[in-house]
Homo-oligomer: A and B are copies of this chain.
Amino acid sequence: MVPEDVLLEMARPQDHHRTAGFKEMFKDVTEHLQYLFQTEGTCLTLTGSGTAAGEAAIVSACGDGQDHKVLCCRGGKFGERWAEICEAFGIPHVNYDVEWGHGAKAEVIDKMLSEDKSIDTVTLVHSETCSSSVSDVQAIAKVTRKHDALLIVDGITAVGTLPVKMDDWGVDIYFTGSQKALMLPPGLGFLAVNDRAWKRIEAGNAHYYYNNLKKYRKSIEKNDVPFTPNNQLIRGLQKVLQGIKERGLEAVWAHSALMAKATRAAVEAMGLKLFAADPADSVTGTWVPEDVDEGKLRKLFRSKYGMQIAGGQGHIKGKVIRVSHMGYCDAFDTLSVIGALELALNELGHPVELGCGLAAAQKVFAEGL
């Protein structure tokens, strides 16, 4: 959901990206991105999907024909994607397969890095939206620092939702996209890169083009980008980031946590089972009761209640539904989803006591709001 004021901001006539006006706006956006990632590192904006940003991080840091080896933590579709990119670009890598719904564990990574000293890079998904689970990035960053490995974190559903403290924790590259917590349409990727990562990138000889971070670094010094940027989205981004700054990141993080806590309480009060063992506050995944058809459930949401909920992906397709807590949704949106879920389950022959989920959520809101 893109907020209306942001949509209308983007509908205003645009500055061309080679004008002083654009550069001034872009400078402001870049400073706000540093706040968002909690870093003094370089913040870069790419025109592309989040996947382009992830590819840029991985190929720029590891795809230089030098002897790098990557440990890819895979506990869902996106963790798998970063391993596929290593595969596609011929970057040596090993996989750490995490059970879906669980976070990657610092102690396992510690062990793997101890046993194979040639691993010098770790890719990690902060919040795996497809399995609605979260990893403890702070603990994992301690381990990668101990082993002097570079940590690249996919923050696509985390940045702007969950606490992210890049510099404090010691993450080397964090990246995200425009379409989740930043409440914009898809089309921009963002990377925050610290000095350790730049040392690696600059020392290497990554010979890529569009997704080569060296090019972006050179341009950003002049508040510019190497390739024609989506200036419309950058304009919307400025509005969103200014809003986040005004509210304060701590308040934004606390808000998502509260929405997630209320949703989990409601789900459990309805007798449903959460999917994730390590649930993320960005999205809540719930097993669909066995006597309910997931397709019918989502269709009912869409056609009768005018709401979108997501289904499962991969091997849990058709078995799990997911409710987002990212961006532009408040307590009353959350109550609406819970209310619809109660009604839909009853309609589909899986009776739950009407109001029981809502009451459980209300208790959380009464304490937390």
A residues adjacent to B (C-beta < 8 A): 1-2, 7-8, 10-14, 16-17, 19, 47-52, 55, 84-85, 88-90, 177, 179, 185-187, 207-212, 227-233, 308
User: Contact at A186–B51, with CB atoms within 8 Å?
Assistant: no
User: Contact at B14–A210, with CB atoms within 8 Å?
Assistant: no
CA distance A19 to B309 in the complex (A): 11
Q: Specify which of B14, B19, B51 is in contact with A227 (CB 8 Å cutoff).
A: B51
CA distance A308 to B14 in the complex (A): 12
Listed by A's residue number, 19 A-B pairs whose Cβ atoms lie within 8 Å are A7-B11, A7-B12, A7-B13, A11-B11, A14-B185, A47-B47, A47-B49, A47-B52, A49-B210, A49-B228, A52-B52, A52-B227, A84-B209, A88-B208, A89-B208, A187-B233, A210-B210, A210-B211, A230-B233
User: Contact at A55–B89, with CB atoms within 8 Å?
Assistant: no
Instruction: Kindly name the residue among A7, A11, A47 whose own CB sees the greatest number of chain B CB atoms within 10 A.
Output: A47
Q: Specify which of B13, B16, B88, B209 is in contact with A55 (CB 8 Å cutoff).
A: B209
Question: Given known contacts A7-B11, A51-B210, is B185 in contact with A230 (CB within 8 Å)?
Answer: yes
Oligomeric state, in number of copies?
Answer: 2
Chain B residues, CB < 8 A from A19: 308
Question: Given known contacts A179-B228, A230-B187, A230-B230, is B14 in contact with A209 (CB within 8 Å)?
Answer: no
- List the 9 shortest-distance A-B pairs measured between CB atoms, nearest first: A187-B230, A185-B232, A11-B11, A49-B227, A7-B11, A88-B209, A186-B228, A51-B227, A48-B48
Instruction: Kindly name the residue among A2, A16, A89, A179 whose own CB sees the greatest number of chain B CB atoms within 10 A.
Output: A179
Query: A334 CB to closest chain B CB, in angstroms?
Result: 19
User: Contact at B47–A186, with CB atoms within 8 Å?
Assistant: yes
User: Contact at A89–B233, with CB atoms within 8 Å?
Assistant: no
User: Contact at A16–B227, with CB atoms within 8 Å?
Assistant: no
User: Contact at B308–A16, with CB atoms within 8 Å?
Assistant: yes
Chain B residues, CB < 8 A from A212: 88
Q: Specify which of B16, B48, B186 is in contact with A17 (CB 8 Å cutoff).
A: B186
Query: A79 CB to closest chain B CB, in angstroms?
Result: 15
Q: Specify which of B17, B50, B231, B232 is in contact with A228 (CB 8 Å cutoff).
A: B50
CA distance A359 to B85 in the complex (A): 59
Query: A316 CB to closest chain B CB, in angstroms?
Result: 16
CA distance A33 to B183 in the complex (A): 29
Query: A259 CB to closest chain B CB, in angstroms?
Result: 19
Q: Specify which of B12, B52, B186, B231 is in contact with A231 (CB 8 Å cutoff).
A: B186
Query: A6 CB to closest chain B CB, in angstroms?
Result: 9
Instruction: Kindly name the residue among A85, A89, A232 whose own CB sees the greatest number of chain B CB atoms within 10 A.
Output: A232
Chain B residues, CB < 8 A from A16: 308
Query: A49 CB to closest chain B CB, in angstroms?
Result: 4
User: Contact at A209–B49, with CB atoms within 8 Å?
Assistant: no
Q: Specify which of B10, B11, B207, B229 is in contact with A88 (CB 8 Å cutoff).
A: B207
